[in-house]
Structure 1
């Protein structure tokens, strides 16, 4: 039954006359204040959406409710919802979306009864103060999103929140912008975790070895943690079973893997020497390259840099100062070549000069404030920075951005594309470099981590400098080109993986049809 956008519906009807109802869509019923309690008797109901019912205060399923078929419940955008329903009668729920319920302060303890739940999101529930301890028995949960829960300053710590047998299937955990004062030490027990977002929190440190246990971790974001003083130990070794996130989440191929430590001023101040940040990032670089299941197409790393441009640590790179445009004119693709690494030293300046030669090739139509560009006559492939460079950043803060692109997506070695880093005027490009990567380089990179020099300075790529005005003298600042992401090439394997992930998502979205 589709009653969506019935703007004058104040109370739902008595559903007792249609006991076999499987799908009920009440989304957008902005005047709805009450759901009839007999809804709890709909034993065949599979899908229930109350999305954007802005005047709904509570939901009561009745004393004798039995929603044993219910798999999907949408409550997002119910801005006046103060309490969640009693979930015990909906024990087979698999997907629960409570995003943007800004009046919600707590979640009913009965949520622990949802042993089949795989997806739970309370994103932007800005007045949510606590999560119940019962969350620790939700053993099927794969995604937990609490981003933007500004008053959730602490989570239940230790084994009341996470234990070796609890949340054992969790793959995605987003605790960003929650004002957290502590990171649960027991986070180390989430051995299946692949994506962990902790950006924008207030903790001073992370339990040193808690992250190192997470061998499947491919995404770690610590950006905008202004009080963070020290970095945690990163995982080492290879987890062959990684990459499940890409297999179960539709569109996940476009979600970048990486390590992000941006705008963490105290971390930069506490680096003991210049080798520390670079070797820290090398560990992540090597681990992901060794196990391609960790990423799709490529990944990147952003770390703070407190030293001058003259100490740019890339002896094995071809290095270019400022913002030149180059083109590969010769490169031999041998069997053991696996990809390219780009590194750029950049500075964020809130008050840039009006004119800067390093930005003249930046397209005004671009939605990306900073990106690596591969520009051809009619198109521009881009690898953009997946961070907001304008949120509370320290003026004139300098960072190192490292990008790895796998072999099959290095179209530029044949296309003659013009390669450059481009950015808004507040992004100053200081110096950048490029290096090809071969299988044998993995051991060499490991030696660099152990303070041994890179054994050779390979010169296998020939470049030409390109004039900024090219392609029939067209100015890219005034004639924007078609922009496509660097990962536009989709292999048969990628397509099959994406189709399977979409099928799983649609099975829930269309439940009851």
Structure 2
């Protein structure tokens, strides 16, 4: 155990490697150490101690900690100026701490942090507490709270104080409180609770929220992720929540959102991923000006047409694994701020005609053609046949219907081309590929190409060339001196060139690795 007397900047290590029998009987090394400990505290002046941090995580015996706090009743009684008490204790549920019934906390305590506490003493009042942190406790009811309350993972908790008793509350964390199912209706019905910034009910048993929460005009984040029993908000819930920035509903039972969602003018992130019951957005009329991220991954969403035109600043749209999504409106990629749209594993998706976009990530979709001016990351798109003529980055893996690359690659600023596992045929790599002077990485593995065009020597920045399992590959031309990595495993026809010492491949290798050889 370590006793930190922060007021006088002293750390007194005591009670290491003691015999458990000595703890119970207060004899031997334990008795001697505890006596010295009390004397030291007296000498340092307990009446002046303001902050205590107790680390009991190294303690191996429950008896050890019980004895400590039985003795500390006298010590605490003299600490009139103690404002902060932190107790760290992590022996698991079977060793959670129970305080003596007559245990009294110092009267001027402002901050109490005690993880894994079974219960608070019956005489606990905490009139001057500003913050209370009782993570993973067995407390069923909290009678007092002030600015910061953290009762996360307190699985027995069913009741917290009326909010009229906590007008200065700034943060309430009930994450993982599975027995807590209903919030008191007093929230939002007295004053403005202008200090309250965050409500966290993640993984709790919450079923519904009182409509009075809508009066919390200063609230900035509301978390209901993994609340499987939470299904809907009251109709006008969001009308006055002008400062809400984050609404987290991931893995919840939410089925629908009210039309008042359009009133969240400060909302930046709306998280609805893994919400299988959520199928459709309500019809809204106002622009959600500040929404930059909309996460609908693995949700039940079917269409987005009623929403997309009202998100002028959207940067990230996440729609991966949306099996019910059959179409995406053309306007989605005309949003000027959009940087990335994830449509991974949307097996029933068919894209409408789109001309302008900034980023798109697709995997295992039913898309057959893509728009131009796009950064591509595709994988396992079995129906993809053609690519646009203007691409920012090209990563297209395992698309067997893709037989050739665009004809106008010369106008692009590509740094990476990965077309591994596609079905590129002989002549599929256009000659003007070698105008891509920024290209650093080229992967053509698993294709049916029979040669690498000779212009590859012009790629002065190319450092990686991967050609694995190209069964028809017969020839590699002279390579650029910038090359640092060549992988041509599984190319059986190319292996016949290994004895030809005059082949350009071998004559160029010394230049490729010249700098490394010198090192």
Give the structure 2 partner of residue 261 of structure 1. Answer: 296
CA apart distance, 1:170 = 0.7
Equivalent residue runs for 1:283-432 within 5 Å: 283-284=310-311, 286=312, 288=313, 299-302=316-319, 304=322, 313=330, 341-347=339-345, 421=377
Q: Among residues 178, 197, 209, which one is paired with 1:155 in the alignment?
A: 209
Alignment of 1:84-95 (within 5 A): 84-87=141-144, 90=145, 93-95=146-148
Provide the C-alpha distance between the structure 2 equivalents of 1:205 and 1:16, rounded to a whole number of angstroms: 54
Q: Is the 8 A contact 1:103 1:125 kept in 2?
A: yes
Contact 1:141 1:170 in 2 (8 A): yes
Secondary structure (helix, strand or coil) at the match of 1:3 reads strand
1:434-460: per-residue Cα shift (whole Å, max 9, x none)? Answer: 899xxxxxxxxxxxxxxxxxxxxxx9x
Q: 1:342·1:435 contact (CA, 8 Å) conserved in 2? A: no
- 1:10 equivalent to 2:69? Answer no
Q: Deviations over 1:69-128 (max 9, x none)?
A: x332211122xx1413310xx5xx322111111222x12334541211211111111222
Please state whether the residue corresponding to 1:220 is helix, strand or coil. strand
* TM-align CA RMSD: 4.4
Q: How much has 1:23 moved relative to structure 2?
A: 1.6
Residue 87 of structure 2 contacts residue 113 of structure 2 at CA under 8 Å; is this kept in 1? yes
Alignment partners' CA distance in 2, 1:37 and 1:139? 37
The question of whether the paired residues in 2 share the 8 Å contact of 1:421 and 1:429 is answered with: no
Q: What are the residue-to-residue correspondences of 1:38-57 with 2, within 5 Å?
A: 39-43=104-108, 45-51=109-115, 53=116, 56-57=117-118
Match of 1:197 in 2: 248
In 2: Cα distance, 1:343 partner to 1:59 partner: 50
> 1:454: which partner in 2?
none
The structure whose residues are more often strand, as a share, is 1
* CA–CA separation in structure 1 for the residues paired with 2:237 and 2:257: 10
Alpha-carbon distance in structure 2 between the residues aligned to 1:278 and 1:340: 16
Q: CA deviation at 1:33?
A: 1.2
C-alpha deviation, 1:169, in angstroms:
1.0
Aligned residue in 2 for 1:28: 89
Evaluate the alpha carbon distance shift between residue 312 and residue 66 of structure 1 in structure 2; reply closer, same or farther with a 3 A threshold: closer
TM-score normalised by the chain length of structure 2: 0.52
Quote the residue 1:225 is aligned against. 275
Taking a change above 3 Å as real, the CA distance of residues 3 and 61 of structure 1, as seen in their structure-2 partners, is: farther
SS in 2 for 1:212: helix
The equivalent of 1:473 in structure 2 is: 464
Q: Conserved in 2, the CA contact under 8 Å of 1:4 and 1:29?
A: no
State the match for 2:166 in structure 1: 114
Shift in Å, 1:210: 1.7
Q: How many pairs were matched up?
A: 322
Please report how far the alpha carbon of residue 66 of structure 1 lies from its aligned counterpart in structure 2 after TM superposition.
4.7
TM value normalised by structure 1: 0.52
Are the equivalent residues in 2 in contact too, given 1:198–1:221 (CA < 8 A)?
A: yes
Give the 3 Å change call, closer, same or farther, for CA 124–234 of structure 1 in structure 2: farther
Using CA pairs below 8 Å that are at least 6 residues apart, which structure has the higher relative contact order?
A: 1
What do residues 323-342 of structure 1 show as CA deviations (whole Å, max 9, x unaligned)? xxxxxxxxxxxxxxx86734
> What's the secondary structure of 1:26's corresponding residue?
strand
Task: Confirm or deny: 8 A CA contact 2:264 2:288 kept in the other structure.
Answer: no
**Taking structure 1 as reference, are residues 71 and 109 closer, same or farther at Cα in structure 2, changes over 3 Å only?**
closer
Report the alpha carbon displacement of residue 129 of structure 1 after superposing the two structures with TM: 2.3
Structure with bigger gyration radius: 2
Q: CA deviation at 1:221?
A: 1.8
Task: Find the residue that maps to 2:219 and give its secondary structure.
Answer: coil
- For residues 432 and 153 of structure 1, the distance between their equivalents in structure 2, rounded to whole angstroms, comes to 48
1:133 aligns with 2:182: no
Secondary structure of the corresponding residue to residue 2 of structure 1: strand
Q: 1:61, CA displacement in angstroms? A: 6.4
Which runs of no fewer than 5 residues in structure 1 stay unpaired? 243-255, 272-276, 290-297, 318-337, 350-371, 374-382, 390-395, 400-412, 437-458, 478-513
Give the direction of change, closer, same or farther, for the CA distance of 1:73–1:195 in structure 2 (3 Å limit).
same
Quote the Cα distance in structure 2 between the aligned partners of 1:467 and 1:47: 57
Name the CA shift for 1:339/1:180 in 2 (closer, same or farther; >3 Å): closer
Shift of 1:152: 2.0
Q: Distance in 2 between matches of 1:5 and 1:398?
A: 58
For 1:421 and 1:184, how far apart are their aligned partners in 2?
A: 40
- Which digits, 9 at most, give the CA deviation of each residue in 1:233-256, with x for residues without a partner? 4573476xx7xxxxxxxxxxxxx9
Partner of 1:210: 260
Unaligned ranges ≥5, structure 2: 1-51, 348-357, 368-372, 393-408, 419-440, 443-461, 469-519
Q: 1:222 to 1:340 in 2, by over 3 A?
A: closer
Which string of whole-angstrom CA distances, capped at 9 and with x for unpartnered residues, describes residues 273-325 of structure 1?
xxxx25623422x1x26xxxxxxxx544438586779x8838988xxxxxxxx
